[in-house]
């Protein structure tokens, strides 16, 4: 059975978004597709910052590869990619070197439609929700140690959505799980400490559900163990009222926020019993 040749990598690839791990993976895929073994250093040129003068970059783009199918050039570090920050991009994309592949990495892009049509595009936006959990499960599987959906959900709740951090945690969890076939929720619970955000929301959710005693108990333990600070709890309280206090009227919300601001002011003035300030706020939330 005949198989066709693998598709040639795009002449110009834009990786746009703040997620650095996705950009790095795109660059690594191009390295495998473009470079021959033993010629990685000769045929891969990386510009870590946008060039002030594009003369050198354009010279490299026009230089044929030494021993690889393609020369690979990475231009990185762009905050906003547009005709001002990269005036050379549109002319080059219209007439690229057939033996060179260019990847440009930027936080954001504001390019004209004609330029966008002449290049390939990879979104490097942060993953969220179900997409993030699915990514965690795929990465764990690739490491040879699948993770349960519950474990993936807890891991993202504790570490957030930064992919490089999650990947490192999965590598540690894969070793920690040892002979077990899968990484479970219990493994994550043991190895990955609760985040400040998770700790704060656990306390606030207990108080808001009418359990001030349980909230105060978790607060005391978290402060003692260094999982959270007084200042972080004050900030979390303010966020909680602004985003989750649907049952409060406008006047009640303003009063609650004013009380938090006053407690925060007293905390900064070295209140003799700072824990009592938080106790009163949590009891207020429970009521």
Per-residue pLDDT of the chain (287 residues; tens, 9 = 90+): 455 566 789 999 999 999 999 999 999 999 999 999 999 999 999 999 998 889 999 999 999 999 999 999 999 999 999 999 999 999 999 999 999 999 999 999 999 888 888 899 999 999 999 999 999 999 999 999 999 999 999 899 888 889 999 999 999 999 888 788 899 999 988 888 777 777 888 888 888 888 888 888 888 888 887 878 888 888 888 887 777 666 667 787 788 888 888 888 887 887 777 778 888 888 888 87
Q: Which of 68, 94, 123 is the last residue of a domain?
A: 123
**Same-domain pairing of 84 and 46:** yes
Angstrom distances, CA of residue 65 to CA of 7, 24, 61, 73, 97: 19, 22, 10, 11, 11
**Same-domain pairing of 133 and 61:** no
| Residue 69 forms part of a structural domain | yes
3-state helix, strand, coil in the chain (%, to 5): 55, 15, 35
pTM: 0.69
| Residue 48 forms part of a structural domain | yes
Describe the crossing of helices 250-268 and 274-286 by its angle, rounded to 10 degrees: 170
| Residue 106 forms part of a structural domain | yes
Residue 10 token pair: 């795009």
| Domain around 71 | 12-123
**Same-domain pairing of 49 and 98:** yes
Beta pairing partners, 44:
72
| Residue 42 forms part of a structural domain | yes
**Same-domain pairing of 179 and 262:** no
**Same-domain pairing of 215 and 250:** yes
| Residue 3 forms part of a structural domain | no
Q: Which of 65, 93, 123 is the last residue of a domain?
A: 123
CB–CB of 106/14 below 8 Å?
yes
**Same-domain pairing of 28 and 95:** yes
Q: Looking up tokens 């930064």, which residue turns up?
A: 162
User: Quick check: helix, strand or coil at residue 189?
Assistant: helix
**Same-domain pairing of 173 and 210:** no
| Residue 7 forms part of a structural domain | no
Q: Which of 123, 155, 180 is the last residue of a domain?
A: 123
Residue 97 token pair: 């070197």
**Same-domain pairing of 30 and 73:** yes
**Same-domain pairing of 85 and 24:** yes
CATH of the domain at 150: 1.10.8.60
**Same-domain pairing of 17 and 118:** yes
**Same-domain pairing of 19 and 119:** yes
Could you tell me the end-to-end alpha-carbon distance of the chain, in angstroms, rounded to an integer? Answer: 73
Tally the domains of the chain. Answer: 3
**Same-domain pairing of 142 and 112:** no
């Amino acid at each position: 059975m005949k198989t066709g040749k693998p598709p040639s990598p795009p002449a110009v690839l834009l990786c746009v978004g703040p997620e650095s791990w996705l950009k790095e993976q795109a660059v690594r895929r191009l390295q495998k597709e473009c470079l021959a073994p033993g010629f990685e250093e000769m045929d891969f040129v990386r510009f870590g910052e946008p060039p002030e003068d594009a003369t050198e970059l354009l010279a490299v783009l026009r230089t044929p590869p030494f021993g690889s199918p393609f020369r690979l050039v990475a231009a990185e570090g762009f905050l906003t990619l547009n005709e001002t920050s990269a005036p050379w991009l549109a002319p080059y994309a219209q007439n690229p070197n057939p033996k060179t592949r260019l990847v440009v990495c930027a936080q954001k892009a504001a390019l004209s439609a004609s330029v966008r049509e002449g290049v390939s595009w990879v979104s490097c936006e942060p993953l969220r929700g179900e997409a993030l959990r699915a990514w965690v499960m795929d990465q764990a599987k690739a490491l040879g140690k699948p993770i349960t959906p519950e474990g993936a959900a807890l891991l993202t709740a504790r570490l957030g959505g930064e992919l490089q951090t999650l990947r490192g945690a999965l590598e540690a969890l894969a070793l920690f799980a040892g002979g077990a076939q899968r990484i479970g929720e219990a493994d994550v619970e043991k190895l990955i400490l609760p985040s400040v955000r998770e700790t704060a929301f656990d306390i606030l959710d207990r108080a808001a559900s009418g359990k001030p005693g349980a909230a105060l108990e978790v607060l005391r333990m978290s402060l003692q163990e260094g999982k959270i600070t007084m200042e972080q709890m004050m900030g979390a309280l303010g966020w909680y009222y602004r985003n989750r206090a649907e049952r409060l009227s406008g006047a009640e919300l303003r009063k609650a926020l004013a009380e938090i601001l006053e407690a925060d002011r007293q905390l900064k003035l070295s209140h003799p019993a700072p824990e009592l300030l938080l106790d009163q706020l949590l009891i207020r939330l429970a009521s």
